[in-house]
Structure 1
Amino acid sequence: MGVFVLFLLLKKIFAKYVFKIILKLVNKTKFNADTKIVAAFERPLINFFEVLGIYFAFDILILALPIRLDFVNRVFSSAIIVLISWGLYNLTGESSLLFERMHKAYDVKVDKILFPFISKTLRLILIALAITIIAEKWGYNIQGFIAGLGLGGLAFALAAKDAAANIIAGMSIILDKPFTIGDWVKSDVLEGSIENISFRTTKIRTIDEALIIVPNSKLTNEAVTNFSRRGKRRVTFSLELNYITSRQKLEICVSRVRSMLENHPQVNKEGILVRFDKLSAASLDIIVCYFADTPDFDEYFRVKEDINFEISDILHQEEILMAFPRSGIYVDSLPDEGKKDYIKSLDMIQNKDISTEDINEDNDK
């Protein structure tokens, strides 16, 4: 017991003083890698003193108690393997030394999807290796276990067919990068912003803030439009003007709207189209087509709003009216006297802007 307490004291001294001195010395070196490695093994090194204390305590107890030496050695070896694996596990984090070296050596951009995927894969491999080595230390037949897995592999594959398809699709998305986190995408059934991509699923936040979790295999089997990958967004609409608009006014409107779009700082100079398109049943239609020079969804709507305000100002300045829905009332079924009174009432409403109460008073007279 005294030996174990001694090593606990050594652990506290190491954690409070010795390790801080080591960190200061390492920070003075030119290599950032040294600091990263020491930081990754900080907790394993500190806990190593507890393991040593337990080992030496049992080593002394062997003389007094019926404890086998090989059992103590196996426990000690297993603990050392766990501590080393712990340190390596810390080194394979997303912001670890490994990915910094990859970024500098191969000019690989820090990716929000690829590096977490590699990190998780390496950590799973480390855990599997640690378990395998510890199992062999305790005399388990790993080869027989692996062979047993092979016999049940077919049944497992059939049972986990969908899960495997999603994982493979997830790897395809991560490597091919048809979209990444933050992109605005649209498929046949949904539209929204990519929030997260994991092994099995992709999380998409829709425009109404709903979170949709989609299996990766479904996304890879559908046509997906990635709006964030295009440098500009198209806007097309028609200006429906009143039929009383003269040709001169139409030409002025077309010219001013086209000039405004050509001089707008966030409208692409190519693809601008402003033309008197057609004579509809109730309006004179001017087609307006342009590209907003932004892939950002919010900015796209801001540009549209600004253009709409500019067009509204042009129409007001030129005193051009927009077309509006009109209704026709047929009074053929009324007698001649009734037709005259009804038409007179409509004329009074349109020309004098009076209420139906005034019309009733006039009819009473």
Structure 2
Amino acid sequence: DDQLVPLVIRSLRILVLMLGILFILENFGYDITSLLAGLGLGGLAFALAAQDTVSNIFGSITVFSDKSFQLGDWISIGDVEGTVEDIGFRSTRIRRFDQALVTVPNSQFIKGGVVNYSARKKRRIEFYLGVTYGTSVRKIKEVVEGIKKIIEEDDKFDHSFYMVKFTDFGAYSLNIYVYCFTKTTVWADFLTVKGELNLKIMELVEELGVEIAFPSQTIYLKDSGKTPESPRN
């Protein structure tokens, strides 16, 4: 695994450094055996002080064993979302989309769930198309069938499952629900496909003479039948 290589290199460096320190101490006449025994007596205190470090190390082991994400993946954990730049013993570095670099302790990957957006096989498009209340039943059916045809004839969409349904009567519109998936998972390409779909739907409703609804209010003024009085001079 390519992402394991940096971690192994760091481990070897730490091991070489520890062996080098022991070698130097031995050359200066220190009794290494007694020193190691003394370290053993203080092991409990060290373990208590290093709980967070141990937890983070186990977190890194969990990341590598579960393979929940790897370098370059787009993930989110808690309120942090971005691209994985580095996975270390203690922490993982995530580059947010505003280019800020966030260091997340590896223990967080044990406690909380990780969402890996890069693992998606397709991307979802979901929205409501609202048409005006003056639209006839026949026209609504034509809009629904027209949108279905647009999706079916475009190979950039996944045709295994999609929905186009007239679902409800909104406050100011008759709502048509559109739910489908693009084959691409690349953000820029996804936006292109979504934009093309929107334009084709706009062309469809124009051809059918259907109006897209927008928030509006109708005010009715009641006529009392009384003649207004003349203003006094």
Same fold (TM over 0.5): yes
Distance 1:143 1:224, change over 3 A: same
Structure whose residues are more often helix by fraction: 1
**Matched-pair contact (CA < 8 Å) for 1:201–1:216:** yes
Higher Rg of the two aligned structures = 1
One-letter amino acid of the structure 1 residue matched with residue 115 of structure 2: T
- SS at structure 1 position matched to 2:161: coil
**What's the offset of the Cα at 1:127?**
2.5
| Aligned counterpart in structure 2 of residue 139 of structure 1, from 17, 26, 29 | 29
| Aligned counterpart in structure 2 of residue 185 of structure 1, from 56, 75, 78 | 75
Distance 1:333 1:115, change over 3 A: farther
| Aligned counterpart in structure 2 of residue 297 of structure 1, from 184, 187, 190 | 187
Percent identical: 37
- SS at structure 2 position matched to 1:281: coil
TM-score after normalising by structure 1 = 0.57
| Aligned counterpart in structure 1 of residue 63 of structure 2, from 136, 150, 173 | 173
Residue 20 of structure 2: aligned partner? 130
* Aligned pairs (5 A) from 1:330-341: 330-332=220-222, 336-337=226-227
| Aligned counterpart in structure 2 of residue 212 of structure 1, from 90, 102, 113 | 102
In 2, the alpha carbon distance for the partners of 1:175 and 1:249 equals 55
Q: Aligned-residue CA RMSD in angstroms? A: 2.2
**What's the offset of the Cα at 1:333?**
9.4
* Aligned pairs (5 A) from 1:79-90: none
Which structure has more relative contact order (CA 8 Å, sep 6+)? It is: 2
Residue 121 of structure 2: aligned partner? 231
- SS at structure 1 position matched to 2:149: helix
Q: Does 1:155 align with 2:25?
A: no
**Which consecutive residues of structure 2, in runs of 5 or more, have no partner in the other structure?**
229-233
**Matched-pair contact (CA < 8 Å) for 1:243–1:284:** yes
One-letter amino acid of the structure 2 residue matched with residue 115 of structure 1: V
| Aligned counterpart in structure 1 of residue 134 of structure 2, from 239, 244, 250 | 244
**What's the offset of the Cα at 1:300?**
2.5
**What's the offset of the Cα at 1:211?**
2.6
TM-score after normalising by structure 2 = 0.87
**Matched-pair contact (CA < 8 Å) for 1:262–1:272:** no
In 2, the alpha carbon distance for the partners of 1:131 and 1:181 equals 33
Q: Does 1:121 align with 2:25?
A: no
In 2, the alpha carbon distance for the partners of 1:258 and 1:201 equals 47
| Aligned counterpart in structure 2 of residue 280 of structure 1, from 170, 187, 210 | 170
